[in-house]
Structure 1
Amino acid sequence: MTWRGSSLLVAGLLLAGTLTACGGGAQSASTAFDANNCQGGTLDVLNQDDAASHLDPARLYTSGGGNIPSLLFRTLTTRTRKAGADGAKVAPDLATDTGEPNADATVWTYHLRDGLKFEDGTAITAQDVKYGIERGFAAELPGGAPYLHDWLVGAQNYPGPYKDPNGIAAIETPDAKTIVFHLNSPHGDFPYLATATQFAPVPKAQDKGADYEKHPISSGPYKIESYDKGKSMVLVRNTNWSRAVDPNRLACPDRIEATYGLDPAVINQRLTTGTGKDGDAVTTDTDLGPSELAQLDNNPDLAKRVAKGGFPYTYYIAFDNTKAPFNDIRVRQALSYAIDRTSVVNAAGGSSLAYPATTFLPDNKNMGYQAFDFFPAGKNGDPAKAKQLLAEAGFSNGITITLAHRSADFNQDGPKVATAVQDAFQKAGITVKLQSIDSDSYTTTVSNPATQPQASVEGWGADWPSGGPFIIPIFDGRQYLAGGGNFNTAHFNDPKVNADIDAINKITDPDQAAQRWGQVDSEIMKQAPLVPLFHTTQLRLYGKNVKNAFVSDWTGVYDLSQVSVK
């Protein structure tokens, strides 16, 4: 499962023209920060949405909720809390290391640190972690990451601890500090999965089922003082947490106050002005708006308060490779040559927020990115080459296709990007009829082979920064789902690629695996199964009193565990 069709951009942000990069102003972290002397104050979070629609770790998907869950729930592993590419690595959290695999990565063993406690002072045990994971299988608690349902031996039909208190046999806890996972097949990425909130410990004696989220028991640096769902949340210090047992989270502010339901323009205006408490504020769900982007080159003080991140996301044109005319590789190649990526990037918000894609993997070394362009079309496309290939395929008079897109104008797979594609294809003799689909039903429509449009603008972002969750759902032929929920919209099924995926899944060295994922990306894209359009970046504004504000390359939002206020 992954993030699709990102709506991080606010309405009106997608300027049709020529936004430039942020000069020298955008930065990945503020300066003059003393991590040993950052305690105190109140950090305000100004957001459009309450992304943590549930505060139960079993119901949260990865690290959702604008990173706030990571302040409440520690997991076996976590992301490295650094700016840039280093922040896309796995670090030990509750565990002493990132996991001990057996020879083929089908068994993973973790040992807990000493001194771990819940907010009430009781010790955190391996059994608490196991119970927290098992809760994620209960039908009463839907919404969490689904991987363990498929990965754990014999767990596919486990109904959760409320109906089967015997638990999952594939998770062993031989003592209070050891937990062992037995997997159906090799998964070298298991340390990444162990960062999901589903791996947070839950004390069985305090579990109240669906009501647990009214006051989940914290294992992190903060605990809940108050929570008004969709409106506000207040976090205060968990006095049973310390940096001595958690080297990852700085937890500088004494208090964190989040406000939800704000208009994006209001958020950016408040952060820009920085009056009163707004000087101590950040946002975890709102990119810069047109007004702020226009000021950056001429307002150095504002530009210093913009953090840039590279959450890995790819937008592309999808189509069924098994159906005419896309079953002819020359037609698929023609589409790649015809695309004008400059106009598409401008439609997606300009070069501040997007950059051209000729690969499927984004430019992120942890994912294995390798630069290549098998169908070089320059900045504005090569319609002549596209026409030549169409003629060779028997379409000397061109072709007509239907291209679906989301109806919402602020989405990067919306009408502005689709229109830019339409204009570019027209120059190559490809007539495009646009099909607008309601944003709420878009993913359901395009991922069901029975309703899949002829072609569609789609987006893909992985749950963790590795090539596996980027490549496997889209290109593993065994992942094709005829009944719906199918992300392999190309209907791609290459035996060599499938075998390569199996081989890489056995690799537990992230750097070695990344290199192999880059090679697989190259193998796949030579076959032109889709047309990559652009990758995205994030630009976030923060208050004038905020320090150490950087956008995580893992999550695409500020890492609140590292931020401080003056």
Structure 2
Amino acid sequence: MLRPARIAVFTVSTIAVGSLLAACGSGGGTGSSAGGSAAGAKVTAANCTGGTLYVLNKSKSSSGYDPAVLYTSGGGAIPRLLFRTLTTRQSQPGDAGTKIVPDLATDTGEPSQNATVWTYHLKPGLKYADGTAITSADIKYAVERSFSSQLAGGPPYLRDWLVGGESYQGPYGAGSPELSSITTPDATTIVFHLRKSEGDFPYLASQTQFAPVPKAKDTGKEYNAAPVSSGPYTISSFTKGKELDLVRNTYWDRSTDAQRLACPDNIKISLGLSATVINQRLSASVGNDADAITTDTILDAATLAKVAGNPSVKKRVATGYFADTTYLAFNTKKKPFDNQLVREAFSYAVDRTAVVNAEGGSSLAAATTTFLPASLKAAHQDYDWFPAGRTGNPDKAKQLLAQAGYPNGITVSLAYDNADPAAATALQQAYAKAGITIKLNPIDDSAFSSVVNTPATQPELALTSWGADWPSGAPFLSPIYDGRQIVTGGGNWNLAQYNDAGVNAQIDAINKITDYATAQQKWGELDAQIGKLALNVPLYSEIDSALYGSKVKNTYVDQWRGWYDIASVSVK
């Protein structure tokens, strides 16, 4: 998943701040929840029910809540309150929070034929908020409608993975065609036929595209304002850009859902607020704001420093590492980056400390020399093939440039998103020490992805980032290094345009592995192997912190998104 400049999507691992106990992002142990609860008190379904939770958000949610167009990771906490999926992340702090567990299904899936066929069986007694039964046909239809051009915006995996997915256009239109690679032998069984082995399919099945949609209630583009809920809450009222009110789904049965405590009776979400207002209100924690959280607003460096000086507020800060990597992407089809010696020179000359400082310091960014971030602990392997130290090795870089035929230095253009110019400027100043002249090429935020991710317009060098859709090396490495995923028409994430048959075969082999630990070890080994080619320069992973109200309880941070789990938060 491409991540724009410092958006507030929190993923994967965490560190402890104040009374918040969670896992250490890069190698600590795990802890239990605290977050406003009395010491030793455990929030359970029996003692947490009641009250109103208030959510203060920047997002206007103008596109609504159609599960076809949401990312579970990017759509964040709110969709998980409305929708259940075949699988979901385990609602526990620490490393246990990266585990995939059953949700609507009885298990995480039955693989066969080298993980090209996945079968799921639904739990008995599942119902929508209108009291009707949830069936396997509803899940099939939900996946099918996500292919429609009317509902663009969801993750791309289904089109790539499902047999016939590359040409399928959705169920709307003449004949209401079905996707034959999804079958429903009976009302509680659904089978997916993939065109290639995908051991991570249970993780994909946690995305909102797998939330059931009853065909009779589908209103196409208008479904986003009033989707039929399968989760513990349903929409009472929704004013786009202003507010969203949720009330209990009385047909939701906690006995079939072990992953959502669903403590508050009501959840009132204010939309379109400024980050300054949100942080001021949560910091003051007065009135209803004491029972408030945010699911999309982080603390900037100045506010974080101010909070650090106030112990009563500091203990109400949740901090997490988003599982992403900001990096310099070389276009190896263009000079001078078709020469590995030049790429290595840039790797040696980089000043990661200057970049981290430009992004707000070590409280907001953690330097990295690996493409797989440390927060993906199961897959991450430490390596540093081109040691630059804390501030770069310009002498080594000059030596390599001379060997590459540039004894008098080199001049290149750096494309970057103009919404975040700080790192680009820091890189320009740092690389000058190695005789590398950087010409800055700012691209408007609205056009950055279309320019950089289209091979015909891709610049020679770009500052960009990539984040994990789930805690695995697969969605991190495959889009970046699988040569068969190079897309010429746009939406290309393999910016090195790297296509090696041997690496492609390794990716296929790892995708056949359904044992999580084994697969992650292999992804880590592949990352270290490819890292020797200097196809990019990893710079840093983001660290994001957010406030919550003084009466909010059970704010443990999960290791999937690096954010507290709203489905378990309590105000009672």
**Over aligned residue pairs, what C-alpha RMSD do you find?**
1.9
Task: Check the 8 A contact 2:5/2:417 in 1, yes or no.
Answer: no
Partner residue in 1 for 2:4: 5
State which of 185, 199, 220 in structure 2 corresponds to 1:174. Answer: 185
State which of 338, 350, 355 in structure 2 corresponds to 1:327. Answer: 338
Q: Which amino acid aligns with 1:200?
A: A
Report how many residues are paired. 550
Give matches, 1:463-542, under 5 Å.
463-542=469-548
Please give the alpha-carbon distance, in whole angstroms, between the structure 2 residues aligned to 1:385 and 1:27: 43
Task: Check the 8 A contact 2:18/2:316 in 1, yes or no.
Answer: no
Shift in Å at residue 344 of structure 1? 0.7
**Deviations for 1:103-142, whole angstroms, at most 9, x for unmatched residues?**
4000000011111111122211111111111111223322
Please give the alpha-carbon distance, in whole angstroms, between the structure 1 residues aligned to 2:133 and 2:269: 29
Please give the alpha-carbon distance, in whole angstroms, between the structure 2 residues aligned to 1:362 and 1:236: 38
Shift in Å at residue 53 of structure 1? 2.0
Partner residue in 1 for 2:566: 560
Shift in Å at residue 555 of structure 1? 2.9
Q: Which amino acid aligns with 1:190?
A: F
Task: Please give the secondary structure, in 2, of the residue aligned with 1:70.
Answer: helix
Please give the alpha-carbon distance, in whole angstroms, between the structure 2 residues aligned to 1:531 and 1:476: 18
- Say if 2:389 is the partner of 1:383: no
Q: Give unmatched runs, 5+ long, in structure 1.
A: 11-20, 409-413
1:52–1:26 distance in 2 versus 1, CA, 3 Å: farther
Task: Please give the secondary structure, in 1, of the residue aligned with 2:318.
Answer: strand
Partner residue in 2 for 1:411: none
Please give the alpha-carbon distance, in whole angstroms, between the structure 1 residues aligned to 2:290 and 2:259: 26
Shift in Å at residue 510 of structure 1? 1.2
Task: Check the 8 A contact 1:112/1:177 in 2, yes or no.
Answer: yes
Shift in Å at residue 196 of structure 1? 1.0
Shift in Å at residue 396 of structure 1? 1.5
Give matches, 1:277-316, under 5 Å.
277-316=288-327
1:264–1:297 distance in 2 versus 1, CA, 3 Å: closer
Shift in Å at residue 557 of structure 1? 3.6
Task: Check the 8 A contact 1:138/1:161 in 2, yes or no.
Answer: yes
Partner residue in 2 for 1:65: 75
Shift in Å at residue 27 of structure 1? 4.5
**Deviations for 1:317-352, whole angstroms, at most 9, x for unmatched residues?**
112123222122111111111111111111112111
Please give the alpha-carbon distance, in whole angstroms, between the structure 1 residues aligned to 2:291 and 2:517: 38
- Say if 2:465 is the partner of 1:459: yes
Sequence identity of aligned pairs in percent? 56
Shift in Å at residue 213 of structure 1? 2.5
Partner residue in 2 for 1:99: 109
- Say if 2:338 is the partner of 1:344: no
**Deviations for 1:143-202, whole angstroms, at most 9, x for unmatched residues?**
222322221122333332233435222111111111111111111110011011111111
Task: Please give the secondary structure, in 2, of the residue aligned with 1:258.
Answer: strand
Please give the alpha-carbon distance, in whole angstroms, between the structure 2 residues aligned to 1:339 and 1:416: 15
Task: Check the 8 A contact 2:148/2:169 in 1, yes or no.
Answer: yes
Task: Please give the secondary structure, in 2, of the residue aligned with 1:426.
Answer: helix
When structure 1 is superposed on structure 2, of 511-520 and 494-503 the one drifting more is: 494-503
Give matches, 1:102-251, under 5 Å.
102-163=112-173, 164-251=175-262
With the length of structure 1 as denominator, give the TM-score of the two structures.
0.93
Please give the alpha-carbon distance, in whole angstroms, between the structure 2 residues aligned to 1:297 and 1:209: 47
- Say if 2:43 is the partner of 1:34: yes
Partner residue in 2 for 1:275: 286
Task: Please give the secondary structure, in 2, of the residue aligned with 1:224.
Answer: strand
When structure 1 is superposed on structure 2, of 258-267 and 365-374 the one drifting more is: 365-374
Shift in Å at residue 450 of structure 1? 1.9
Please give the alpha-carbon distance, in whole angstroms, between the structure 2 residues aligned to 1:9 and 1:199: 24
1:528–1:534 distance in 2 versus 1, CA, 3 Å: same
When structure 1 is superposed on structure 2, of 461-470 and 134-143 the one drifting more is: 134-143
1:325–1:178 distance in 2 versus 1, CA, 3 Å: same
Please give the alpha-carbon distance, in whole angstroms, between the structure 2 residues aligned to 1:433 and 1:26: 44
Please give the alpha-carbon distance, in whole angstroms, between the structure 1 residues aligned to 2:8 and 2:152: 27
Task: Please give the secondary structure, in 2, of the residue aligned with 1:433.
Answer: strand
1:155–1:8 distance in 2 versus 1, CA, 3 Å: closer
Please give the alpha-carbon distance, in whole angstroms, between the structure 2 residues aligned to 1:26 and 1:394: 54
1:255–1:513 distance in 2 versus 1, CA, 3 Å: same
State which of 409, 412, 425 in structure 2 corresponds to 1:401. Answer: 412
Please give the alpha-carbon distance, in whole angstroms, between the structure 2 residues aligned to 1:232 and 1:141: 22
Task: Please give the secondary structure, in 2, of the residue aligned with 1:439.
Answer: coil
Shift in Å at residue 52 of structure 1? 6.7
1:26–1:502 distance in 2 versus 1, CA, 3 Å: same
Partner residue in 2 for 1:374: 385
Please give the alpha-carbon distance, in whole angstroms, between the structure 1 residues aligned to 2:423 and 2:124: 52
Please give the alpha-carbon distance, in whole angstroms, between the structure 2 residues aligned to 1:254 and 1:22: 29
**Deviations for 1:380-415, whole angstroms, at most 9, x for unmatched residues?**
11111111111222212111111111111xxxxx21
Shift in Å at residue 546 of structure 1? 0.6
Please give the alpha-carbon distance, in whole angstroms, between the structure 1 residues aligned to 2:292 and 2:314: 16
1:466–1:22 distance in 2 versus 1, CA, 3 Å: closer
Q: Which amino acid aligns with 1:417?
A: A
Task: Check the 8 A contact 2:20/2:556 in 1, yes or no.
Answer: no
Q: Which amino acid aligns with 1:355?
A: A
Shift in Å at residue 552 of structure 1? 3.5
Partner residue in 1 for 2:445: 439
Partner residue in 1 for 2:59: 49
Task: Please give the secondary structure, in 2, of the residue aligned with 1:217.
Answer: coil
1:200–1:24 distance in 2 versus 1, CA, 3 Å: closer
Q: Which amino acid aligns with 1:422?
A: Q
Task: Check the 8 A contact 1:308/1:540 in 2, yes or no.
Answer: yes
Q: Which amino acid aligns with 1:371?
A: D
Please give the alpha-carbon distance, in whole angstroms, between the structure 1 residues aligned to 2:262 and 2:410: 58
Task: Check the 8 A contact 1:339/1:421 in 2, yes or no.
Answer: yes
Q: Give unmatched runs, 5+ long, in structure 2.
A: 10-14, 23-32
Shift in Å at residue 63 of structure 1? 4.2
Shift in Å at residue 209 of structure 1? 2.3
Partner residue in 1 for 2:25: none
Shift in Å at residue 25 of structure 1? 6.8
When structure 1 is superposed on structure 2, of 155-164 and 443-452 the one drifting more is: 155-164
Shift in Å at residue 26 of structure 1? 6.2
Please give the alpha-carbon distance, in whole angstroms, between the structure 2 residues aligned to 1:219 and 1:430: 56
Task: Check the 8 A contact 1:334/1:385 in 2, yes or no.
Answer: yes
Which contiguous aligned blocks of 4+ residues in structure 1 show a shift greater than 6 angstroms? Answer: none
Task: Please give the secondary structure, in 1, of the residue aligned with 2:255.
Answer: coil
Task: Please give the secondary structure, in 1, of the residue aligned with 2:305.
Answer: helix
When structure 1 is superposed on structure 2, of 137-146 and 514-523 the one drifting more is: 137-146
Please give the alpha-carbon distance, in whole angstroms, between the structure 2 residues aligned to 1:356 and 1:192: 28
Task: Check the 8 A contact 1:287/1:538 in 2, yes or no.
Answer: yes
